Structures are given as structure tokens and as C-alpha cells.
Structure 1
Amino acid sequence: MIPADLSRCVVRAVRCAVDDGELAPEAAAPARVVVERTRPGGVGDYATPVAFQVAKAARCAPRDVAGVLARRLGAEPGIERVEVTGAGFLNFVLPAPSAPAVIIEAIVRDIAIRDVRGGAAHVLPADESGLGLRERVVRRSVLRLVAAEGGTERDLPDTLAVAPVARRDGDVVARYGADAASWAMLAVPARETPAFSDLLLHQGEANEFFRVRYAHARSRALERNAGRLGFHQEPGDVDDVDEAAALLRLLADHPLVLEAAAYHRAPERLVRNLVELADALLDFHHRVVPQGDEKPSAAHRARLALADAAGTVLAGGLALLGMDAPERL
């Protein structure tokens, strides 16, 4: 099991518990369950507050609901341990993610994002008259996120609480370009005033926006360089490279980040995830192509597949934010 499967697994557990009479019929399974990585110091790898949502409808204690679900989920293949904490939080421990499974999930997710990008005219609101610049940017990104998770504009509130660009910042699009300005507008929660500086124009590692796009460009360069050396990607285990573990974990978490970003109407969660993913890819990329007299091997093909999946996720994430992902920088 990969983290992306957890949400569906929890929904199924609620339905089965209701069908078997362990939960009251009023405890209908929610259409979607948000599962997020546990915060530092928390229990397990992932957590969800779904028991509170179900308990409200069933009119019982959240911890009782969590106990029922924990027993069922603990027997699911691919879940190592389930623990109930606090008033009813479900916490999960999963085995280390499999590179092939994570890569396949990235490909499937990219297809869905391409559909959203290709049908942008149906995703974006028809009337944006009266909206400020930042409200338009935030609203469009949230709509793309919601659409990528199977929702529509009807699932979005009529208004979003969005702090405008400060008057002192002037015409930020003219100064920094549309993509860089949008990055700054989306990098902080919508209620907070965004910050702009000339760092957005800096083509170096101090600029997070540049690092994300550069990491994507590096993934595409690796594919081109591998072709010149006569080998291509092939998903497989990458346990031989220490830097692969962090990259795998972030790729495995990415679908959960998208779900949470859409649910909370919070594009800044995706921004943070893309920065972390880009940094992990840049730590890993120098191990992909053979060096010196080294010959291409199955290990190199597996590493290339992982780097390509990371590049695909970076491009998809930027598209959901409304930005381009150049092939070369």
C-alpha cells in the first residue's frame, strides 16, 4: 500500500463498519477522507481526523468510532500498525514506499492533471470581474486543485478570504513576470499578505521558484543524457542510493498533499511540497547517469525512472499553480 491508497481504504472501512452494524446507519462514509503526514513529534507516519466527522453524524464519541475503524484497518494488507490517539485521531504506520508503485501513481496522477490543464476553460470561472489580482490567482489555483481531485467550481465557496497585494509593491507582474509573481502570491496562506523582493529574479539556489523549475529541467536533461549513453528508464528498486529514500517519501506523499491542498483551499501546501521535492531531486540527480568508466546498469535505469517521475510531478504541480515548467534553464 502507498499513502495515496489510505484515503480510499479508510472510506471503505467506514462503509463496511456501517454495513456490519458496528456503526450506526447515520454514520455515512464521507466521499473523501483527508489523510496527512503526521507532524514532527506525532505518532506514526500518517493521520486522519475522520472519526470526528463520522461520530458527529452517528452521535457517538469520536474515540469509539476510531476504535472500530482501527480494528478494521489494522487487518488491511500493507498497513503495519494503526493507533488511536487523543480524542479520536487515527494514526498509521506504513512500510517504506516501493519505487515502482510510486512511479505508477505519479504517471496516473499526471494524466489527471493534464486533463485539468487541457480543460482549463471549463475549470476557470467565466466571470472574474471585480476580483483583485491576487484573488484571481488564488481562486484559479484552488479551482485547478479541486478539479484535479474530481471536484468542480460548484464545490468552491462563492468567496475566498484573500489578502490583496500591498499597494507599495506596485505592478508585480510587470516587475517580476507573471509566473514569479504568482509564485509569491501562492507561497503564503491566502489570508496573509504576500512578500515580493528582487530575489524572485535571481537565477540561483536562494530562489525557491527557480530551484523548482531548475529541478524539473534537470530531470529532463537526465533523460536526454541517458539517451545519448544508450539507456532508458525502467522502474525498479533504488535502495542502493541513500538520497533516494527522501525523494521516494516525498513522491509518495504528493497525492496526499494535493488532496489536502484542495480540501483546505490552500495552494501554499503544494508550493511547500514542490520546494521539498525539488531539493530532494537535486540531491539525488547526480547519481542517475553513469560517471567516468561506469557502464549503464539496471540500477541506473531505475534511478532514471525515479528522477523522471519527480520531474513529472514537479511539472504537474507547477501547472496546477498556473505556471510553466521549462524543459531547459
Structure 2
Amino acid sequence: MTPADLSRTVLHAVHRAVAENALRAPVPARVRVERTRPGGSGDYACAVALQLAGDAGLPALEVARILRERVVAEPGIGRVEITGPGFLSFTLDAPGDSDRAVLDAVREQGSAYGHGGALRDEVLQFHHAREVRAAVTADAVRRLVVSQGARVRISCEEAGEEGEAEWGLLGVTVDAYGTPPVTSPADPSAPLIPVRPVPAGATARELLERLGPDATRWGLLRPASYDRAPLGDELLVQGEANPLFLVRYAYARTRALTRGAADLGFTSASDAVPEAPPAPAPYESSARPLLDLLADHPRVLLTAARHRAPDRVARQLEAVAHAFFDFHDSCPPLPSGDEKPSAAHRSRLALAEAAGTVLAGGLSLLGISAPAHL
């Protein structure tokens, strides 16, 4: 069970409690679960009982008890405790089971891992100035919210021939020009949403000539929209100090591992072995940060979509890349010397390939290519 799965499970328990009249409180749009802090109980904790207590007119401990009864027997949950003033603390089933579920999900969904339908009922209309950072940001936000099921329309304040070809090279499309009505014709209840990041201070043509499309998009999207975008030559540095290079190099390395394994005659899974490989053994502690980041990826994408914040995806990809290299250096997926490929190598390769899938999918949402060779 991933953190996103656990969040949905708890939310379902709230729905059940309200439907059964055990709770009389508005159901929240989502439930937040967090890793238990050092010294705490269980794997994850949730404060939803404290959140609902006031509206329910019940002590938080009683709300927690009601929810515990409805979630304790769910698959993937080993134990549910009530701690402090009413926190729910969850201990999940054997780590290998939940890790296996994450790797299975990444393998099955591919680059669409983390996409969902949480925003499927939303019709959104974004509007931006005729400025390159605003246009690229609006395009990335469109990709994000569409990945979560929303329908989107983008308009630009004014048309103009200058820069139109360059916008196309940056992957930007605009549905309409001019200031549209306050609401969308497709959905009168959809308000006009302005996209107003700090301007780039350069034109699309200037940036493309100096940086190319991928570095330009990363440079515009990596900082939060309220921060200035650093657009210097550091975006072209072929070294791990450059986050864009780090992320793309990590992806290219995962592809090289797959090719290397094939040359050695083994894979992480094959038609002859219908089940996906097991997750890395628990003693390989360097795998844990990477596995946790992959499990958290769907939540990160949904949060980035809700907050219109592609910079959150960029930071997630950087974290995955760092965790991948730490894991790779501690637990090499390929055998060395005369060593024969083992189940451990196959398992490590599965995790490396899952990391590559997440990196490629995240870069695609940012409109940036993921080359297999660097």
C-alpha cells in the first residue's frame, strides 16, 4: 500500500462513517497522511479525527475510534492505533508487500504512473500575458492538470507574429488570443485563472538561441513562479551540479542498466516469469529513500496540479535522481567481474527501471525530453 492508497483508504472510511450516520460532519476533499516522526508509533500518521471532531460534535478520540473500526481490516494495513489526542497511526503490512505494489504499479502504468482522475470534474481556463515564462508555465500547468483528469483551455492576452515559431519550438500552444469572458463558454462556472510568474527578462528567441528548448523550459519552470528564473549558462553544464543534467543523466543511466542486463542475459521481468520481481531486500537500506519517493510520486503530481506548481515536479525529479544514484552506488544492479546475476540483481534492476520510468514521466509533464544516451 502506497501513501496515496492509504490516504484514499482513510477517506473511504470517512465516507462510510458519514453514510452510516456514525459521523455527522462534512467529508473533506482529501485526507493527508505523513510518515511518522522518529520515536512515533507506526509507519504513517493522520490527523483527520482532530479535523472532523468540531463539526461532528464529538471528542477527537471518539472520532478516531469510529474511523479505526472502518479501516483496520483493509488490505495492506497491519495495525491501526490511536495515539495522543486522536491521531490515527498506521502500521502497514510487510514492507516487501507495499514496495512490490509500488513497483508493480510503475511497471503497469509506465510514464502515466501518478496520473489520475481527482480533477476530472474540473473545467479550467488559464490566461497569461504574451511573455515566454508565462506561456511555458501555463503549458506545464495544463499538462499537470490534464494528467489528473481536468479539461483545460489556455488564452493569451494578445496575438503577434513575433515569437510564434519559437513558442512552438518550446512546445507551447495557445487556444485563443485576447481577453476572454470571465467564465469559460464550455463551463460558465469556470473562472478565468491568471498565470503570472515573474517574467523571464528575455524573449523566447533569445533563450532558444542560447540554451535550446529543454534547458529553457527547465530554467523557466524549476523556480517557483514568484521567484526570478536563473537563466544562465549553468543550465548547460554537463555535470551533477546542474539539476537538469543530473535528472536526465539518472534516466540515461537506468536505460544503460537495462541494456547492460540484456547483454548479460537477464532482465527484471520476462514473459517466462509472469510475476514482477520482488522489491529489494529490507537489509538494503539505501533502497528505502528511493522506494519512498516512488511511492509518493502520485501525491506529488496531484499536489502540483492543485497548486499550479510545476516547480514541485522538478524538485521531486531531483530528489528521485539523487536517491537513485545513492542506491545505485550502494547496491549495484549489475554483477561485477565473474559474479553471476542473482535474484538481488534482478530486484535492484526492477527498482532502477522504476526510477527511470518516473523520471521520464515527470520530464514529459514538464515538456522536457528524456534521452536514453547522454
Q: Please tell me the TM-score bracket, short chain as reference.
A: 0.7 to 0.9
Give the gaps of 5 or more residues in structure 1.
Answer: 117-124
Query: Counterparts in 2 of 1:312-327, with a 5 A limit?
Result: 312-327=357-372
SS in 2 for 1:245: helix
Give the aligned residue type for 2:209.
A
Counterpart-to-counterpart distance in 2, 1:174 and 1:92: 53
The one of 230, 239, 248 aligned to 2:291: 248
RMSD: 3.6
1:276 aligns with 2:319: yes
1:226 aligns with 2:269: no
Offset at residue 42 of structure 1 (A): 10
**Higher alpha-carbon Rg:** 2
Counterpart-to-counterpart distance in 2, 1:326 and 1:42: 43
TM-score, normalised to structure 2, is: 0.72
Spell out, residue by residue over 1:101-149, the C-alpha distance to the aligned partner (whole angstroms, 9 max, x if none). 1111213443636999xxxxxxxx9997744222222222222222222
Q: Which structure is higher in strand share?
A: 2
Counterpart-to-counterpart distance in 1, 2:318 and 2:293: 10
* Total equivalences in the alignment: 318
1:187 aligns with 2:222: yes
Check the 8 A contact 1:165/1:193 in 2, yes or no.
yes
Spell out, residue by residue over 1:164-202, the C-alpha distance to the aligned partner (whole angstroms, 9 max, x if none). 334279833332222212212222222222222321110
Check the 8 A contact 1:70/1:84 in 2, yes or no.
no
1:6 aligns with 2:6: yes
Counterpart-to-counterpart distance in 1, 2:89 and 2:69: 12
1:204 aligns with 2:239: yes
CA distance 1:275–1:34, change in 2 (3 Å): farther
Partner of 1:167: 201
Partner of 1:236: 278
CA distance 1:262–1:49, change in 2 (3 Å): farther
1:304 aligns with 2:339: no
Partner of 1:119: none
Q: Which structure is higher in helix share?
A: 1
Check the 8 A contact 1:261/1:270 in 2, yes or no.
yes
CA distance 1:85–1:166, change in 2 (3 Å): farther
Check the 8 A contact 1:166/1:193 in 2, yes or no.
yes
Check the 8 A contact 2:115/2:298 in 1, yes or no.
no
Offset at residue 303 of structure 1 (A): 1.1
Offset at residue 51 of structure 1 (A): 5.9
Check the 8 A contact 2:8/2:31 in 1, yes or no.
no
CA distance 1:113–1:186, change in 2 (3 Å): same
Offset at residue 162 of structure 1 (A): 2.8
Offset at residue 156 of structure 1 (A): 8.0
CA distance 1:135–1:316, change in 2 (3 Å): same
Give the aligned residue type for 1:180.
A
CA distance 1:89–1:81, change in 2 (3 Å): closer
Give the aligned residue type for 2:106.
A
